[in-house]
C-alpha cells in the first residue's frame, strides 16, 4: 500500500508564488503516485499564517479547483514555526508521513521522491540538507553558518545546514506533539524525538517570486529562540566567569596589599580595590548559583517527554496473573 504523504507549506503573504507552487507540487504528487511513492489520499496542505494579502483567497480557490489541495487558516500571524507546527499537527492523524517545505520553491521539489524513498526504507525523520549556500547573500550565509556553529558549541543537537525541509513519519509527529513548549524552534526539537533518521542533500534555488518573509529581525529572534530554548550553557558560563573573577581577585588583593606596604598606594585605595574585587567575584558566583537553579526550573517548566519507547519485546507470560486464576 502506497503511503499517504502530506506536503505541509506555511504561507505568509505568498500571493505571487502560490499558484505556481501548488501547480508544481500537485504535479509532483501525481507523479509520485504513479511511482508507488504516494497513495491516493496524499495531499498538499497550505497553512495561511494570517496573511494580509490574497493568500487565503487563492488557497480557497485552489482547494475548490483541485481535490489534492487542502488549507488551514490561522487567525493571526504567528510566525513560520507555529504555522508549520499547525500544519504538521493537522496532517498528523491523516497521513503516514508529512514533508514540510517553503512556499517559495526554494526547497528542491525534485528531491521529494528521495525523502519518501528513505521513509519506505524505515526512516522516521529525513532531514533535507543544503549542498551549498551560493544562492544566499554573503551576510545570510555567514550569519547562518555561524549560528549552527554557536549552537554546536552550546551543546545543542542541530543538523548543519538543515532548515525546515524535512520528512516526519506519523509516529515522529506524535512524538513532536508531546513537546508543549511555546518558544518553538523545530530544528532543535526534532533531533530530540529520536528514531531512525537520514539525510537528503539538495540544491537550494532562488526564491521563485516575492520577497523573503524573514527579515533580519525575525532571523535574530529565531536564532535567540534556538539558543535560549535549548541551552543552559549561558547560565553555566556565569558561574565559570564568577570563579575566574574570584581567582583574579586573589591577585588583585595581593597587588593592593603589596602596594599598601610598599607605600605606593594613597590612603583608602587598598580597602576600595580589595572590596571591589572580592565583592565582584562573590556576586558573579552567587548569580551563577541562582542561574543553576533557574536552569533546573527552565527544564522542569518545559515538561519535555523524558523518554520514548521505540520497541518493546515481552514474553507472553509477562505481566500480572489474570484475575480468577488464583487458587
**Site residues, ligand UDP (CB under 6 A):** 10-12, 14, 49, 77, 79-80, 83, 102-104, 106, 212-214
- Number of H helices and number of E strands within the chain? 10, 7
The secondary element (H helix, E strand) that includes residue 89 is helix 80-91
- At closest approach, how far in Å is the CB of 27 from ligand UDP? 19
The secondary element (H helix, E strand) that includes residue 22 is helix 18-34
Residue 13 vs residues 48, 172, 218, 254: alpha-carbon distances, Å: 8, 29, 15, 64
Q: Is residue 102 a contact residue for Mg ion (CB under 5 A)?
A: yes
Which of ligand UDP, Mg ion, none lies near 77, with the C-beta cut-off 5 to 8 A by kind? ligand UDP
Report the residue number, 96 or 108, with the smaller CB distance to Mg ion. Answer: 108
Q: Please give the grid coordinates belonging to residue 223.
A: 536564532
Report the residue number, 42 or 106, with the smaller CB distance to ligand UDP. Answer: 106
- At closest approach, how far in Å is the CB of 173 from ligand UDP? 18
Report the residue number, 96 or 164, with the smaller CB distance to ligand UDP. Answer: 164
Report the residue number, 8 or 95, with the smaller CB distance to ligand UDP. Answer: 8
- At closest approach, how far in Å is the CB of 104 from Mg ion? 4
Q: Which of 4, 81, 106, 270 binds Mg ion (CB under 5 A)?
A: 106
Report the residue number, 216 or 248, with the smaller CB distance to ligand UDP. Answer: 216
Q: How far apart are CA 114 and CA 108, in angstroms?
A: 11
- At closest approach, how far in Å is the CB of 214 from ligand UDP? 4
DSSP state of 161: T
- At closest approach, how far in Å is the CB of 28 from ligand UDP? 17
Q: Is residue 104 a contact residue for Mg ion (CB under 5 A)?
A: yes
189 and 88 in contact (C-beta within 8 Å)?
no
Report the residue number, 11 or 273, with the smaller CB distance to ligand UDP. Answer: 11
The secondary element (H helix, E strand) that includes residue 285 is helix 269-302
Concatenated DSSP letters of 207-224: -SSS--S--HHHHHHHHH
Beta-carbon contacts of residue 163 (< 8 Å; ≥ 6 apart): 102, 107, 128, 130, 187
**Site residues, Mg ion (CB under 5 A):** 102, 104, 106
Amino acid at each position: 500500500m502506497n503511503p499517504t504523504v502530506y506536503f505541509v507549506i506555511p504561507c505568509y503573504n505568498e500571493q505571487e508564488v502560490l499558484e505556481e507552487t501548488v501547480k508544481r507540487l500537485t504535479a509532483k504528487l501525481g507523479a509520485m503516485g504513479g511511482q508507488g511513492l504516494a497513495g491516493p489520499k496524499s495531499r498538499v496542505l497550505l497553512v495561511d499564517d494570517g496573511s494580509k494579502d490574497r493568500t487565503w483567497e487563492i488557497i480557497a480557490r485552489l482547494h475548490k479547483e483541485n481535490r489534492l489541495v487542502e488549507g488551514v487558516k490561522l487567525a493571526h500571524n504567528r510566525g513560520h514555526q507555529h504555522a508549520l507546527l499547525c500544519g504538521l499537527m493537522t496532517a498528523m492523524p491523516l497521513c503516514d508521513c508529512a514533508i514540510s517545505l517553503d512556499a517559495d520553491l526554494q526547497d528542491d521539489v525534485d528531491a521529494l521522491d528521495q525523502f519518501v524513498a528513505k521513509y519506505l526504507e524505515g526512516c522516521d525523520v529525513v532531514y533535507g540538507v543544503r549542498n551549498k549556500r551560493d544562492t544566499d547573500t554573503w551576510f545570510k550565509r555567514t550569519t547562518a553558518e555561524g549560528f549552527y556553529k554557536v549552537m554546536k558549541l552550546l551543546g545543542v543537537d542541530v543538523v548543519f545546514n538543515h532548515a525546515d525541509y524535512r520528512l516526519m513519519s506519523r509516529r515522529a509527529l506524535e512524538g513532536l506533539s508531546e513537546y508543549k513548549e511555546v518558544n518553538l524552534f523545530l530544528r532543535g526539537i526534532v533531533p530530540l524525538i529520536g528514531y531512525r533518521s537520514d539525510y537528503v542533500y539538495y540544491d537550494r534555488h532562488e526564491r521563485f517570486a516575492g520577497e523573503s518573509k524573514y527579515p533580519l529581525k525575525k532571523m535574530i529572534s529565531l536564532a535567540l529562540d534556538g539558543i535560549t530554548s535549548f541551552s543552559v550553557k549561558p547560565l553555566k558560563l556565569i558561574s565559570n566567569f564568577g570563579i575566574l573573577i574570584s581567582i583574579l581577585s586573589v591577585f588583585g588583593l595581593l597587588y593592593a596589599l603589596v602596594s599598601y606596604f610598599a607605600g605606593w598606594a594613597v590612603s583608602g585605595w587598598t580597602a576600595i580595590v580589595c572590596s571591589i574585587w572580592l565583592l565582584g567575584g562573590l556576586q558573579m558566583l552567587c548569580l551563577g548559583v541562582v542561574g543553576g537553579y533557574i536552569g533546573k526550573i527552565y527544564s522542569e517548566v518545559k515538561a519535555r517527554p523524558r523518554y520514548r519507547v521505540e520497541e518493546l519485546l515481552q514474553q507472553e507470560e509477562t505481566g500480572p496473573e489474570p484475575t480468577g486464576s488464583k487458587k
